[in-house]
Structure 1
């Protein structure tokens, strides 16, 4: 989890969001690979083929035509996605044993903080202190809200993994991305975003 968060954020410094999203669209494929090694789940060839098609379709949808980024950032983003897949698969394995979603979230949080906090203090401590001095209240609210969102997201995610599987959770995540794009087009009056490329991507998904 710590690697997923830190490497993903670090990659965005020198990587366009579009390319970041395309790489992260490969999550189902990476998760099925991690499930093979961690959970000893052997996928069928049709499952692997379906996941490749799904990831390709999502990649087409989120692609915005900007592929700026260093090779180092691309590697960081890829490693982050692998770490996320490994985390989900490990969660799936743990949740089949005598551990519930609340305990799993409780155990992960301090360990993640233990690994990320020194990095934060080393790289961004001065910037955080200066920002707090200028707009401390807003930053405190943002930290509180994002922390609550992260905990809620993890609880829901782990519950989903517990009742389905790590691979199914990533597939649902990909479908959610496409559903949000389609809903924004119709509910928010953004039908102009439906270019030929986006339409092809949705059809593939």
Structure 2
């Protein structure tokens, strides 16, 4: 007689206890956890021929492989990143200090200066922008923002911005800064601050 196969009901899965952590705790725990180890890849079969076999590597002679031998000279881990890279924290902090000093010194010189705003502001004056990217147009930029009433009254706000850009370059030079008229098409009539005053 052929015995009947033995079958059993699968054991019920234990109920998952409710997670009562807050959203902030979940995010913190997510970033605090180390990344899971990558799955181990099966070893490559040794190629046939002299010198092949277990333990062979590039230093052992023909037939061996190693990570050093497989690496491409000059390869960059960030080669696939598109666009400019952000500055490292020390360099970005240096730009922020320079921007704060420019804003403070322009205020002391009698000009209304404030951080840059993307949306138009009703306050006329100098806006200080920090571009923290490692490219040709990164750095500290100054924009002269005219009052909205200038355009409403039919005045040529472009002419005002051109004149004020020249005034900013000369004012910064008098304060010990190095600055120049920018050539970035996305920042018309802006002033590029290159360096602050030399330390006394």
TM range, smaller chain: under 0.3
More helix by share: 1
Higher relative contact order (CA 8 A, sep 6+): 1
* TM-score for both structures, normalised by structure 1: 0.23
* TM-score for both structures, normalised by structure 2: 0.23
More strand by share: 2
Larger radius of gyration: 2
